[in-house]
Amino acid sequence: MDALIRTEGLSLSFGGVVAADNIDFRLDVGERLAVIGQNGAGKTTFINICTGFLKPTRGRVWFDGKDVTGMEPRHIVRFGLGRSFQLPQLFLDHTVRQCLEISAAARQGRLSFFKPLAQSVNRREIEHTLELVSLRERGSELASSLPEGQRKLLDVAMALMLNPKLLIMDEPTSGVASEDKHDLMATLMRALDERKVTSWFVEHDVDIVSRYATRVAAWIAGKVAADGPPAEVLASAAVRREILGTA
């Protein structure tokens, strides 16, 4: 089977820092990958290269069979590679519903000065997506009024409006109180399952990783140091020593 996303020899340095060190990686349809690693290990850099926000110094990225190396993010997203950000990228002075309308219009290439936004989008799709991430009751409120957990949900909902095959989420639970993290992840995973979206999320909380991932990849100093079933990776010596601090 072809990989949904695959990289070969992906490398990027910032001055003397090797943030991505010759990374060979693949993810298949239906996987739910958690990426773990210390601050500065290169987790976000790798995502940024795969999604076109950074260009690698060496190596290639294929998404859904197409070579997307060095392409602009807006082109890659159209092939079905969505992402959400460590800090949600919302239209804070718009309502929750308008944020989804903007995403939908962008997908259709129909963002236009000459047409009211609300006319150009499929209302049912928007309401269904709001429902899917449990934000329907907040649809008329400003995005800026949402607490962090709901901002994360809105960020993902906006990405879902682009009908991704793969959604990469950079720390979807960061900034969210620990007692709310499980509810947030449960909502996100339910939404992704319903839309049959393959997912990859960066996460520091081991409980969340063990509960929601089907596979774990551990990043150490710009390399994938361990990759496999969660129980195996979380028990490996390098991960316990370098990441979890439990060796």
Ligand X SMILES: Nc1ncnc2c1ncn2[C@@H]1O[C@H](COP(=O)(O)OP(=O)(O)OP(=O)(O)O)[C@@H](O)[C@H]1O
For binding to Mg ion (CB under 5 A), which residues are involved?
44
State the binding partner of 138 from Mg ion, ligand X, none, CB within 5 to 8 A by kind: none
- Strand 81-84 and strand 215-220: pairing? unpaired
Q: How far apart are CB 203 and ligand X at their closest, in Å?
A: 10
**Which of 23, 36, 44, 173 is the binder for ligand X (CB under 6 A)?**
44
37 lines the binding site for ligand X (CB under 6 A): yes
Q: How far apart are CB 39 and ligand X at their closest, in Å?
A: 3
Q: How far apart are CB 205 and ligand X at their closest, in Å?
A: 12
The rounded distance, in Å, linking the Cα atoms of 201 and 148 is: 17
45 lines the binding site for ligand X (CB under 6 A): yes
92 CA to centre of own chain: 20
41 lines the binding site for ligand X (CB under 6 A): yes
Rounded (10°) angle between helices 178-194 and 148-160: 10
51 lines the binding site for ligand X (CB under 6 A): no
**148 CB burial (10 A radius; 0-12, 13-18, 19+):** middle
**Which of 4, 23, 33, 43 is the binder for ligand X (CB under 6 A)?**
43
State the binding partner of 177 from ligand X, Mg ion, none, CB within 5 to 8 A by kind: none
The rounded distance, in Å, linking the Cα atoms of 203 and 173 is: 7
39 lines the binding site for ligand X (CB under 6 A): yes
Segment interacting with ligand X, rule: CB under 6 A, options 40-48, 96-104, 114-122, 138-146: 40-48
Taking CA atoms, 88 is separated from 58, 229, 230, in Å, by: 29, 29, 27
The rounded distance, in Å, linking the Cα atoms of 204 and 209 is: 8
* 233 in Cβ contact with 209 (< 8 Å): no
**H or E element at residue 215:** strand 215-220
145 lines the binding site for ligand X (CB under 6 A): no
239 lines the binding site for ligand X (CB under 6 A): no
Closest to ligand X by CB, 17 vs 235, is 17
Segment interacting with ligand X, rule: CB under 6 A, options 33-41, 87-95, 179-187, 231-239: 33-41
Residues binding ligand X: number (CB under 6 A): 11
Q: How far apart are CB 39 and Mg ion at their closest, in Å?
A: 7
**H or E element at residue 131:** helix 123-132
40, amino acid identity: G
First to last CA, the chain: 37
Interacting residue ranges for ligand X, rule: CB under 6 A: 14, 17, 19, 37, 39-45
